[in-house]
């Protein structure tokens, strides 16, 4: 059995999709569905059981699983909102919950793969290397990034990084993200605006060294992310904390040009002032250093940005924007 926490969410449901493509259905999905539309990500997926995330730690503690049957725990469940202000909530969900699962898995030699974040890099003053020395110098700009950094540092301090895998996701986009509200990708938000006949709004730059819309991110296609996760599932002797990005930064203007091109539309961008409360915590540039990922043996190419956006726009956004609309 493979356990996927956050298995109804964006990345988690895509992991289940990837496992299904391999013929795996012996999957326990752990998540909270609430009153939103996240449940739609489960439509068409094949899995053995669903468990509410609130019950999962108790079930582990009470011996509710035959640990000999658990092949791996892929822990994608967390609060992923970079604007969440409740520090106690974030530390419970992103630090304490992850620590409890890690302790359980390590004590039983169960493969453990967890989601960290590029938000740990702060404003990038120490670069984007995923080595341990760099990780210890990082200064996140928001409590979300800190909650992820806290567990990375906890794992490094105990040598856990030599016994499991952490993945620092950069700006992931693709089908199954429609439920994420303000955390939806720029691609998805722009498509929604264009569908409504509106220009898409980008933040003006408030730094002299960046023109409006030339702020850059490492945008990475969800299917590439799934391939990386499954690589670490297959290669059980490969451990550590790794960046998961394309390795190439692209501006928001470039991203939107690719979207307009895929949709055969004219450029429709409006630049607006960034809210004051975001300016001190805004990342102007991110780019994953994927040297260690390559050295670990992951050799698959990352999908070029324009190709990924074209696939997203033409194959998914024209209908229900989730993976199983076409492929499950």
Active site residue 271: no
d(CA 179, CA 36): 7
38 flagged as catalytic: no
d(C-alpha 85, C-alpha 158), whole Å:
29
Instruction: Give the end-to-end CA distance of the chain in Å, rounded to a whole number.
Output: 20
DSSP-assigned letter for residue 165: E
pLDDT, tens digit, 9 for 90 and up, residues 25-43: 999 999 999 888 899 999 9
- What is the spatial distance between Cα 3 and Cα 101, in angstroms, rounded to a whole number? 11
Q: What is the 3-state secondary structure (H, E, C) of 190-217?
A: HHHHHHCCCCEEEECCCCCCCCCCCCEE
For residues 193-200, average pLDDT:
91
Q: Is residue 328 predicted with pLDDT exceeding 90?
A: no
pLDDT at site 309 = 97
Residues 2-173+219-246+284-302, CATH architecture: 3-Layer(aba) Sandwich (3.40)
- How is residue 87 written in tokens? 């520090």
Rounded to whole angstroms, how far apart are CA atoms 67 and 222?
Answer: 30
State CA 304 to chain mean position distance.
Answer: 18
CA 214 to chain centre: 23
Extract the tokens encoding 248. 């190439």
Say what the pLDDT of residue 326 is: 64
Q: What is the pTM of this model?
A: 0.95
> Which among 180, 271, 282, 284 is annotated as catalytic?
180
Query: What is the model's pLDDT at position 78?
Result: 84
Q: Of residues 47, 114, 128, 144, which has the active-site annotation?
A: 144
How distant is the alpha carbon of residue 44 from its chain centre?
A: 22
Highest mean pLDDT among 191-195, 223-227, 274-278, 311-315: 223-227
């Amino acid at each position: 059995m493979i356990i996927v926490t956050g298995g109804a969410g964006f990345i988690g449901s895509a992991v289940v999709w990837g496992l299904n493509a391999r013929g795996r259905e012996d999957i326990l999905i752990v998540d909270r569905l609430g009153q939103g539309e996240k449940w739609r990500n489960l439509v068409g997926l094949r899995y053995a059981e669903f468990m509410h995330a609130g019950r999962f730690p108790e079930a582990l503690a009470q011996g509710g699983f035959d640990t000999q049957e658990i092949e791996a725990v892929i822990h994608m469940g967390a609060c992923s909102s970079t604007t969440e202000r409740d520090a106690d909530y974030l530390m419970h969900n992103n630090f304490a919950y992850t620590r409890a699962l890690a302790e359980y898995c390590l004590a039983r030699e169960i493969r453990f793969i967890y989601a960290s974040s590029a938000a740990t890099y702060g404003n990038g003053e120490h670069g984007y290397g995923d080595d341990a020395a760099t990780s210890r110098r990082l200064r996140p700009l928001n409590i979300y990034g800190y909650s992820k950094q806290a567990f990375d540092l906890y794992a490094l301090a105990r040598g856990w990084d030599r016994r499991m895998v952490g993945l620092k996701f950069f700006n992931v986009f693709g089908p199954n993200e429609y439920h994420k509200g303000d955390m939806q990708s720029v691609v998805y938000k722009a498509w929604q605006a264009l569908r409504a006949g509106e220009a898409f709004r980008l933040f003006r730059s408030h730094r002299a060294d960046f023109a409006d819309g030339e702020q850059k991110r490492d945008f990475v296609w969800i299917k590439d992310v799934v391939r990386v996760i499954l690589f670490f599932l297959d290669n059980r002797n490969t451990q550590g904390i790794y960046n998961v990005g394309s390795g190439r930064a692209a501006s928001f203007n470039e991203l939107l040009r690719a979207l307009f091109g895929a949709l055969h539309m004219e450029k429709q961008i409006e630049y607006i002032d960034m809210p004051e409360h975001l300016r001190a915590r805004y990342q102007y540039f991110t780019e994953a250093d994927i040297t260690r990922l390559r050295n670990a043996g992951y050799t698959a190419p990352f999908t070029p940005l324009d190709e990924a956006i074209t696939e997203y726009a033409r194959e998914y956004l024209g209908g229900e924007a989730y993976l199983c609309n076409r492929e499950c």
